[in-house]
């Protein structure tokens, strides 16, 4: 089946885990490997780790797409996927509608130190956007430079992540999944688990969102 995917630019989450999981499994553990892979991928999706690993399109970069009712692939980011999950729609229910781009899969494999999907390892072309060869290794031109010291750390990404976390919190409140008081009472580790980012980012996002709430909604008197 994987040969059919060789020229595909993306796969649904269901297709990806069903085809890639058995390649990562020990003998006799294919079903468990598929479930584990789906869980880990969804964890990275919800925490925004695939948001920056796709090609640039319409001034947006995301490694995810969502199949719309018009059967088109619309750009979506990880925190939006969270809104699709509820009691009546488990992960298995949306796995046929969320598309994961090839660049995001290869970046995920690199970060998790996993063998890349076999159907994409034979292609040695390089993505100019993601800087990743389809063998799952960084191109020479895109090889990361040594990590700078803390004082010289590149800037620019944290504000974007902060905005993503704030928007996810606002959406949870708008949809009634969380109250301002409930958000205020969450521990920092719960914020990180639920919204991603660092503790500092999650704390700043919560403070900013609570300040936006009218007094009666923010728990004031």
What's the distance, CA 128 to chain centroid?
20
* Whole-number pLDDT of residue 91: 57
Coil/strand/helix, residue 173: helix
Domain range list for the chain: 2-121, 152-212
* Angle in degrees, 0-180, between the axes of helices 157-174 and 199-212, rounded to the nearest 10: 50
pLDDT in tens, 71-126: 887 888 888 887 776 544 555 567 888 899 999 999 999 999 999 999 987 543 43
Q: What whole-number percentage of the chain has pLDDT above 90?
A: 17
* Whole-number pLDDT of residue 195: 87
Q: What pTM, to 2 d.p., does this model score?
A: 0.52
- What are the φ/ψ torsions at residue 101 (nearest 5 degrees)? -75, 155
| 59 or 219, greater pLDDT | 59
């Amino acid at each position: 089946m994987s040969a059919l995917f060789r020229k595909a630019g993306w796969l649904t989450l269901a297709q990806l885990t069903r085809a890639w999981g058995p390649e990562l499994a020990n003998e006799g553990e294919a079903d468990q490997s598929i479930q584990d892979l789906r869980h880990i991928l969804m964890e990275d999706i919800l925490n925004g780790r695939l948001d920056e690993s796709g090609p640039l399109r319409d001034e947006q970069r995301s490694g995810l797409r969502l199949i719309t009712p018009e059967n088109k692939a619309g750009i979506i980011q990880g925190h939006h996927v969270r809104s699709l999950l509820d009691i009546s729609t488990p992960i298995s229910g949306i796995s046929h509608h969320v598309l994961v781009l090839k660049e995001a899969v290869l970046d995920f494999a690199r970060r998790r130190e996993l063998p890349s999907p076999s159907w994409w390892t034979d292609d040695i072309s390089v993505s100019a956007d993601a800087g990743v060869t389809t063998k799952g290794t960084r191109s020479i031109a895109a090889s990361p430079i040594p990590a700078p010291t803390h004082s010289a750390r590149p800037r620019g990404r944290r504000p974007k992540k902060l905005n993503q976390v704030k928007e996810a919190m606002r959406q949870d409140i708008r949809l009634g999944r969380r109250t301002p008081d409930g958000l205020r009472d969450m521990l920092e580790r719960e914020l990180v688990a639920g919204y991603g980012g660092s503790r500092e980012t999650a704390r700043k996002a919560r403070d900013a969102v609570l300040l936006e709430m009218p007094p009666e909604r923010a728990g004031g008197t």
